A and B are shown apart, each in its own frame.
Chain A
Amino acid sequence: MEGIKQLKEVQTVDVIEQGVGEVFTDPDADKARAFFRTKSRKMEDKVMSVKEAVEKYIHDGDYLTIGGFGANRVPIAVCHEILRQGRKNLGFSGHTSTHDFQILCAGEVFDRCDVAYIVGLEARGLSPNARKYMETGKVKVTEWSNYAMSVRYKAAAAGVSFYPARNLMGTDTVKYSAGKIIECPFTKTKYVALPALYSDVAAIHVHEADKYGNCRVRGITVSDFDVARSTKRLIVTCERLISTDEIRRDPSHTVIPFWCVDAVCEVPYGSYPGNMLGEYFSDEEHLKEWMKVEKDPEAFKAFLDKNIYSCKNHFEYIAKNGGMEKMQLLRQKEMMFVGARK
């Protein structure tokens, strides 16, 4: 090729060091392309119930990613339904996962986990049951950080097999990761190469979606922009279904386009007991109850039966925890933070 200097020997990137962790998903970009080639681009009605969506798109053994940020804009109805349907042997993305992680641990639905943030619920403390589950040795663990996981989704969303980053190096976090330390071909700077993470399936809760899956999100997007694009299948739950005319009226608000989405489920208060920006604040009392009841295995079993296993859907769960009256209180609390009331 004219203009490109051919090197005498074929150079390969030397791996200087590498972590001992397992890569739970295949980072191969061409295999991912082969899959995405077959993914539907049709603008078709994808509205269905959460039950149908989980039946259709989440299978035993799948690698699952949950969007949002732990107890903020999380698809709780999908997490509960995964337990009700008894999914097993999932792989899980422990990226900023808190209450979602707590639910999935209660059902012991996964046996391998990429860890960035697990077990804790931030300032609320640690989940006794999630901690116990992670200390049993039943779960294979590969260690990362929140940003490392974001970069892994980003690489996959970009259709490449890895991205370089400058975190992790020098620590045990890199040692127990599956990252590989390489040298920049331009500057000789060291980077950790992070393998692309193509999830089998992801679930994301959004404010508004049309029936095709065009989604609007208010507030922080966390890593959902890339989670939506890197996953093979995507279940979206939304506070409200809106018309496609509304989407087309102002396309600048669309965060996830329809072709990423496989199922659209309308679930008002779908992030409850978590927070949803501009809609309702988190139910701190109920989250406290979760933490407390986990300490007693018998009581916890009864609690799960009441709040998850015996519930038909998210409405029933909400009805058992204060219903519309509680939702109104949480809406009023949230309005203080969006300045709608003074």
Chain B
Amino acid sequence: MPDYNTMELMICTAARELEDGATVGVGTGAPCAAAMLAQKVHSPNLLIMFEAGGVAPLIPEMPISVGDSRTTFKAVMASGMCEIMETACRGMLDYTFLGGAQIDMYGNLNSTRVGDDHQKPKVRFPGSGGANDFASFCWRMMVMTPQDSKRFVEKVSYCTSPGWLQGGDSRAKSGLPLEAGPYKIITNMAVMDFEEKSKRMRVIALNPGYSIKDVQDNCGFELLKADKIVENHPPTAEELHILRDVIDPYRYVIGR
């Protein structure tokens, strides 16, 4: 079994979710690495879009900004924010990867603030950026994040980007496009999906070396467990080679 770190494991797991011919809206860092890896291993026709306007680039190396020159390298179109988000709202963007300082059991994300006073927050984060938009519009939203009870909280102190909101049919009632929402949460310990009725986070796969207790101990709310929890495949030698030697040779992302 090849040696790998948790970032490499999460990126490889995420990449496998992106099938050929699908569309994905990505940001910088791990999401972009996952999309590039998918493109080079099993989904040559994966169509990558960046919120700033880059459509279907053949990314030469990791961008540092979702609007830098690499996001339109050999692209089919250099457009703008409205083009990308309107395409997503029209229902043509399948996947997106998002992150945040906090996530709750319904997949709601906080990337705005800590503290209750909105005008004078204890800690100010960037805010939504394009995250609320992608979370609202993309059919399947995924998150890659370390499993940590400070991150996986009972209630996000501020809901920047929508998950399944309060669970059940609350998202459908909110006015957000129907049937779109959180799909999978990929951590260093496990993969979670969302139970169909309650829309609560549910463990479906464990990474090699971790138990269900490890996952629960590092989560601030009670996780549901699938009837059959499978073991997640570790990264293959091919995946690791492409990730390390082609996509991120300077280890900007996988070195974290």
Interface residues of A (CB under 8 A from B): 68-73, 94, 96, 98, 115-120, 122-124, 126, 131, 134-137, 139-141, 143-148, 150-151, 154, 165-173, 176, 181, 189-192, 218-226, 275, 277-278, 281-282, 284, 334, 336-339
Contact = CB atoms under 8 A, between A and B. Distances in A.
Nearest to A68: B67
Contacts of A339: 73-74
A181 B175 contact: yes
Given A117-B127, A122-B66, A146-B81, 7 more contacts: A135-B120, A166-B175, A167-B85, A170-B162, A171-B165, A225-B80, A339-B74
- Nearest 5 CB-CB pairings of A with B: A190-B175, A220-B53, A170-B174, A137-B120, A69-B67
B64 A173 contact: no
Interface stretch (B14-22, B130-138, B187-195): B130-138
Given A122-B66, A169-B175, A134 B121 contact: yes
Interface in B151-176: 158-162, 165, 170-171, 174-176
Contacts of B119: 137, 139-141
Contact of A135 (B89, B123, B128, B129): B123
Nearest to A141: B119
Contacts of B171: 170
A147 B177 CA distance: 16
Contact of A136 (B120, B128, B160): B120
A117 B64 contact: no
B125 interface: yes
Contacts of B125: 119-120, 126
Interface of B: 27-29, 51-54, 60, 63-74, 78-82, 85, 89, 108, 112, 117-133, 136-137, 158-162, 165, 170-171, 174-177, 252
Contacts of B89: 165-167
A169 B181 CA distance: 13
A310 to B, nearest CB: 29
A143 B81 contact: no
Given A96-B52, A146-B128, A337 B80 contact: no
B76 to A, nearest CB: 13
B174 A190 contact: yes
Given A71-B65, A117-B126, A219-B78, A145 B174 contact: no
Contact of A275 (B53, B65, B136): B65
A71 B28 CA distance: 14
A147 B82 contact: yes
23 contacts: A68-B67, A71-B65, A115-B127, A123-B252, A134-B121, A135-B120, A140-B119, A145-B127, A146-B85, A146-B128, A147-B133, A165-B89, A167-B89, A167-B133, A172-B159, A190-B175, A218-B78, A220-B78, A221-B78, A221-B79, A222-B80, A223-B82, A278-B69
Contacts of A221: 53, 78-80
Contacts of A172: 112, 158-160
B28 A223 contact: no
A145 B176 contact: no
B141 to A, nearest CB: 13
A95 B180 CA distance: 25
Contacts of B66: 69, 122
Nearest to B80: A221
A147 B130 contact: yes
A14 to B, nearest CB: 13
B170 A116 contact: no
B128 A170 contact: no
Contacts of B29: 123
Nearest to A336: B60
Contact of B175 (A145, A146, A192): A192
